Amino acid sequence: MVGTSRGGAVRVAAVVLAGAGLAAGVVPAANAQDTGAATAVSAVADQARRVDRAALDAGLRAVVASGGATAALGRVREDGRTLWKGAAGTADLTTGAPAAARDRFRIGSATKTFVATVVLQLVAEHRIGLDDPVETHLPGVVRGGAGISVRQLLNHTSGLYNYTSDPAFAYADDASFQTWLSTDRWKSRTLAELVAVAEGHPVYFPPGQDWHYSNTDYILLGMLIGKTTGRSWQQEVERRIIRPLGLSETTMPENDPTVPGDHTRAYVSLPSGPVDITLFNPTIAGPAGAGISTTADLAAFMSALLGGRLLGPAELAEMKRTTGLGRGADYGLGLERTPTPCGDFWGHRGDSLGYSSIMLGDDTGRRQVVLSRNPYDPAGLPAAEAAFTSLVTAAACAGRTA
């Protein structure tokens, strides 16, 4: 969504890396036999004993040690049980309150996986076709829509310009940054307005010919959900995913600039000291990155998704069908493959203004890893990123044989 850096001037760039019943889209999980359940519980308990929690805690501390992050959170979950959870750093620099594993944070582009799941549920209900032209469902909304498929929006092969790359979303000097702080951060934007920004630029390539991450794709998918269901994308994520799974700490805000409940706060480092940038109008991101959640809720979501409780086998297979194109070779339909020494994991990174996170689940749907950090001092960012990357692997493989 929006990132910050410090040099001769302040720069803030928007990069939002960045009719059915309530549970209609949920595929019931098979009931395990009592003996099988007991065996699974025993196996997880054994795995938990093998997890080096001290090493994972140290990994979180390494993320914040350089000053490149003010806080870091983490969780490893397997077969419905938490093997490890932790927190490091400070949630609020003003009060000095320490970060806690339960804290909420902005999830940025991890929102896209929720949106993609709703779209694939609509595909399963035969209300949308993956290879339908966008023009069929959103006539006249986007230039060239007759040649762009729903699938190409989901996997970023549409070629559409990424609206957050527009100069209107970049604040390249101190004066414009102050304008963002006092005015622009509170602006409300419609989905149509964000698409119009993208329409002011040429496409990157003809649809399907290459891969380019574009938040515009998911703005259109949010519009598609609204047109198909008669409800907003937020309402559909709520009724199809959040409520059925009991994700009580996950929200998909419309205009509310706050992060509810206990949460880590976001800051930008200036010569004069930290400036709190936690609050802003989330319509800048919408279905491309407006979500808020916790490590526990994201782990539960990934478990349900990859475990087959939200999508049928055919739709889940489509979600994992990667493009094989360029930098998006491992990108599927709102889901990205992440190879680790312990096998492939699937999930999504999420970057928002002052937040960076990743949610992952293994191919079996048994293990989930969720990590979050609050980037801060640019001088320490490389070290924080390296520590965060190392922690992803350590958490994925914790208690397992690589």
Token couple for 10: 């302040």
Using DSSP, state whether 229 is helix, strand or coil: helix
Full DSSP string of 126-146: TSS-TTSBHHHHSTTTSTTGG
The catalytic residues are: 109
Burial (0-12, 13-18, 19+ Cβ within 10 Å), 192: exposed
Inter-residue contact 258 to 247 (CB < 8 Å): no
- SS3 label, residue 111: helix
- CA distances to 68, 71, 78, 97, 228 from 93, rounded to whole Å, are 14, 10, 33, 7, 44
Residues 179 and 204: their CA atoms lie apart, in Å, by: 30
CA-to-CA separations, 374 to 55, 63, 80, in angstroms, rounded = 21, 10, 27
Packing angle of the helix pair 215-229, 111-124 (nearest 10 deg): 40
Query: Which secondary-structure segment (H or E) carries 122?
Result: helix 111-124
Contact status, residue 91 vs residue 263, Cβ threshold 8 Å? yes
Burial class (CB in 10 A: 0-12, 13-18, 19+), 339: exposed
Six-digit token pair at 33?
């036999």
Q: Give me the half-sphere count of Cα atoms (radius 13 Å) on the Cβ side of residue 300.
A: 15
Q: Show the CA angle centred on residue 345, arms to residues 300 and 259, nearest 5°.
A: 40
